[in-house]
Chains A and B, each alone.
Chain A
Amino acid sequence: MGERQSDGGLHSRRRVHPDDSADGSRATIEPAGLEEYLGAALRAGAVDPAAEQRATDAFRVARDAGSHRARTRRRDDWRPREHRHMWRSVKTTAAMLVAGLTLGGVAVAAIGSVGSSDGRDDRHRQDASAGATDGASRGPSGKLSPSSGTGTHDRPDTAKDTLAHCRAYESVKGSGKALESTAWQRLVTAAGGEANVGAYCAEQLAAQSHEPGNSGNSGNTANPGNTAKSDKPKANTGNTGNAGNSGNTGNTAKPTNVAKPDASPNPGTKKK
């Protein structure tokens, strides 16, 4: 390698075109050999006792000054990756789970906030009284007495109608004329006013998708399940939030004390 080496330090750098060795006639350096060569060549000649002494002196000074008691910053933590990665992924999973639930809860709550604050207060009152009347009202018949309030329609909405309209409500909301149709008007009436449709629908949809025993979700989710299915005797099997309520066949009218208690105050019929 003498020739090459004696020239190595003196010749000017010249970029090699990629196709120089395309014909394959030139020997190529084996990757492992190359890396070893480079490593050895570049690490060579690093021994300098004076430099080592300076470094060791600095160490002593720092040690004696108590610098070595400083805390570990993130950039100083070089523990093996596996350990940190595993831990981090567990934390990440948990964090994301919590975040997801939080966002979901916020979203659901936000739907409810469409309603008036009165409604919310009333709901809370309902919840409180629901707890009180729980034992009483749950047991006997699970029948929900229809509210005397706004429940009067010519033809009560079927449960399916209500849910379908609820789902579509979000997209229809803004277009004023759409809400004037009869079907929509039924929904609006059931909810006790256009402003309450959002909350009403939230409960309807929530009741449909929640399991029984979700009555902890405020007495309202239980009720919608009841009311929604009230005129479908067979459908009562799907009565979410109202376990054991399948005997609810007798209710034809649709009690509306579900979402908007201010429209149809029925504290007594709080059913869980």
Chain B
Amino acid sequence: MGHGGEPRRTQAYDGELGAAVARAQDGDEAAFAVAYRLVQPGLLGYLRGLVGDDAEDVASDAWLEIARDLGRFKGDGAGFRGWTATIARHRALDHLRRQRVRPRASALEQDVLDLPGPQSTHDQALESLSTEYALELVRGLPRDQAEAVLLRVVVGLDGPASARVLGKRPGAVRTAAYRGLKRLARQLGGGAETDQGVTEDGPSTLGEST
């Protein structure tokens, strides 16, 4: 597991993203769409971890702000991912604050509602379940660990960028991510589930189709 001194994490498409952002800042609408498509999956995944089901709504709010403030941003593709994650996080926290006033559906109900419908393909069904499962695991972590893990594996930020998004020290974020991942690894490999019997050997890799 990588620790602090690792080189700045770049995703495969950061170069393309950086170029798209620059063109969008010059007014290129198509370039903005490219940036959107590159960033949205990570953004949405992160928000899912924070607010669960309301992730799409919060993401919409975030993109409004991103689109409006695009001219202010300075940086490369990886920086753009950090900048957008920060905006998304603020929107998520606002959302959570508002939500405290309203009762929320329990986690279990939400899972039921999100089950793939009969018209989904088999793969989509699996994918959806996989997402739900992963999401549930991550949301089961302590908040600081969950966020650190999400920023690292879903948004793809390095230690310093994650620390900046979270407003914490890089060391604390690194530790939280490490602990969170360790815990998840145990849960996934050691049979976190169920009341039903657990196989002694968990699968060594996930995603095997059966």
Contact = CB atoms under 8 A, between A and B. Distances in A.
Interface of A: 1-16, 18, 20-21, 25-31, 33-39, 41-48, 51-52, 54-56, 58-63, 67-73, 75-81
A5 to B, nearest CB: 5
A21 B186 contact: yes
Given A5-B129, A16-B187, A55-B67, A78 B140 contact: no
Interface in B32-46: 32-33, 36-37, 40-46
Contacts of A26: 189-191, 200-202
Interface of B is mostly: helix
A238 B159 CA distance: 56
Contact of B185 (A6, A10, A34): A34
B128 A45 contact: yes
Given A34-B185, A62-B68, A27 B73 contact: no
Given A45-B127, A62-B68, A16 B192 contact: yes
A251 to B, nearest CB: 62
A31 to B, nearest CB: 4
Contacts of B54: none
Interface in B102-146: 107-108, 111-112, 114-115, 124, 126-136, 138, 140
B88 interface: no
Contact of B74 (A10, A36, A58, A78): A78
A79 B68 contact: no
A76 B140 CA distance: 32
A63 B27 contact: yes
B41 A43 contact: yes
A42 B47 CA distance: 10
> Which interface residue of B43, B59, B154 has the most chain A CB atoms within 10 A?
B154
Contact of A14 (B73, B80, B188, B193): B193
A25 B200 contact: yes
Given A7-B194, A18-B186, A37 B72 contact: no
B135 A42 contact: yes
Contacts of B150: 42
A21 B198 CA distance: 12
Nearest to A68: B71
Interface of B: 1, 8, 24-25, 27, 29, 32-33, 36-37, 40-46, 48-49, 56, 59-60, 63-64, 66-76, 78-80, 82-83, 86, 107-108, 111-112, 114-115, 124, 126-136, 138, 140, 149-150, 152-154, 156, 160-161, 181, 183-196, 200-210
A1 B79 contact: no
Contacts of A45: 124, 127-128, 131
Nearest to B82: A78
Contacts, number: 246
B44 A46 contact: yes
Contacts of A81: 8, 160
Nearest to A69: B71
14 contacts: A1-B203, A5-B126, A8-B129, A9-B112, A27-B203, A34-B181, A36-B153, A39-B45, A44-B130, A59-B32, A77-B74, A78-B76, A78-B161, A79-B74
Nearest to B71: A68
B206 A1 contact: yes
B186 A20 contact: yes
Given A26-B201, A41-B134, 4 more contacts: A9-B111, A33-B205, A35-B153, A52-B36
Given A34-B181, A69-B71, A71-B72, A43 B63 contact: no
B114 A1 contact: no
Given A35-B152, A37-B207, A13 B136 contact: yes
B20 to A, nearest CB: 12
B195 A16 contact: no
B70 A59 contact: yes
B99 to A, nearest CB: 20
A79 B152 contact: no
Contacts of B8: 80-81
Contacts of A9: 111-112, 114-115, 129, 132-133, 136
